Amino acid sequence: MRFRELVFGAAVAAALRAAARLGIADALGDTPLSAEDLAAAVKAEPKPLRRLLRALSCHGVFTERPDGTFAHTDMSRLLREDDPHSLRAIALWCTEPWTWDSWPKLDEAVRSGHNVVEDLYGKEFFVYLNEDAPESADVFNRAMTTSSTQSARDVADFLDLSGSSSVADIGGGQGHVVASLLEKHPALRGTLLDLPRVVENADPRLRPGGALADRTRIVPGDCREAVPVRADVYVIKNILEWDDDSTARLLRNVIGAGGPGTRVVVIENLVDDSPSMRFSTAMDLLLLLNVGGAKHTTESMTSRLTAAGLVIDDVRPVNAYLHAFDCHVPR
């Protein structure tokens, strides 16, 4: 029966997507509601909605009470837009239309070692998103913002920068990590480096007029091409998932920019030694499908960092799904 459940895994993903798109979790407050009342709130048919809720309740997403009403669980609250730990955008991103086109071709990706998106759509993944699937691109941006915002707090709590005067967030997206670090360390100065179209939408705290603007430098650029930033500490989070050549070039650029003695902290999901193995290995396969990338094992990450010339001082979990490799450039 467990095997049968696994084979029907797509049904669970589809049910979560449907609940997110219907807004069921937002419509359901602290008071349990009947399927009929929820259906009226989300403009759906009561009988099919009850079937959807029953299917989700089997997995701990919502719960059906003895009187037939439905109530929230800790997991169903993660589908609410206003929950501080909301995963609604992540649920949508992982079930976007392109994923349903790609998953059936996983065997092809395993045989070839290459992504399948370019054959499906005739374009590289992010080019396809931005040119042909703008709604999906928007979902991606919201999902990454959600993920970065939530993990940035954990990184700031984890990372001790008390002896440093400057930090650079390399490929840091909208800058949630560097913003959290600057808030924690009032004397610290920070730099955000990412592609021009990304940093245009940087965290408002970092932009002119923002609370952290006077301690922040925003640098548009491709870190695989150059890192024109000097800092005591470089943070590289969740971007060493490309091909080996791109990873090697980025690390060389950081080492060249920082010089001997510089601290480099690499933060990644791992597909071993982690309580989040089911999540991380699934993301690893999704990376293979869309960009031909990969999540790392402890060994593969270690080998890439040492091959680049870094000395690894410590490897520790940041939270349930992230590990930090604390390194330095040898003198």
Could you read off the pLDDT of 289-307 as tens digits, one per residue? Answer: 999 989 999 999 999 999 9
Mean pLDDT on 132-141: 92
Q: Chain-wide mean pLDDT for the chain? A: 95
Q: Per-residue pLDDT for 274 more than 90?
A: no
Which range is least confidently modeled, 31-35, 77-81, 168-172, 243-247? Answer: 243-247
Kindly tell me the burial class for residue 36, based on how many C-beta atoms sit within 10 Å of its own C-beta (0-12, 13-18, 19 or more).
middle
Model confidence at 49, in pLDDT bands (50, 70, 90)?
Answer: very high
pLDDT of 276 > 80? The answer is yes
pLDDT of residue 87: 96
pLDDT at 53 over 90: yes
Could you tell me what percent of the chain has a pLDDT over 70?
Answer: 100
Q: How confident is the model at residue 243 (pLDDT cuts 50, 70, 90)?
A: confident
- pLDDT confidence of residue 245: 86
DSSP of 174-226, one letter per residue?
T-HHHHHHHHH-TT-EEEEEE-HHHHTT--TTTSTTSTTGGGEEEEES-TTT-
Q: What pLDDT does 141 receive? A: 84
pLDDT confidence of residue 329: 98
Q: What is the pLDDT of residue 197?
A: 85
Percent of the chain with pLDDT strictly greater than 90: 89
DSSP-derived 3-state class of residue 102: helix
pLDDT of residue 275: 81
Q: What is the pLDDT of residues 66-111, one digit of tens each?
A: 999 999 999 999 999 999 999 999 999 999 999 999 999 999 999 9
Please check the confidence at residue 5 and state whether its pLDDT lies above 90.
Answer: yes
Tell me, what's the pLDDT at 97? 96
pLDDT digits (tens, 9 = 90+) for 103-133: 999 999 999 999 999 999 999 998 999 899 9
Q: Is 263 helix (H, G, I), strand (E, B) or coil?
A: strand
Per-residue model confidence (pLDDT) at position 62: 98
47-61, 174-188, 215-229, 234-248: the lowest-pLDDT one: 234-248
CB 237 within 8 A of CB 169: yes
| Structure confidence at residue 244 (pLDDT) | 82
pTM here? 0.87
Summarize the confidence of residues 204-226 as an average pLDDT.
97
Cα–Cα distance measured from residue 236 to residue 177, given in angstroms and rounded to the nearest whole number? 10
Residue 133 parent element (H or E): none
Rounded distance between C-alpha atoms, residue 220 and residue 166, angstroms: 18
Bigger pLDDT: 147 or 23? 23
Tokens 């690390």: give the residue. 251
* pLDDT score recorded for residue 130: 86
Which of the four pLDDT bands, split at 50, 70 and 90, describes residue 323? very high
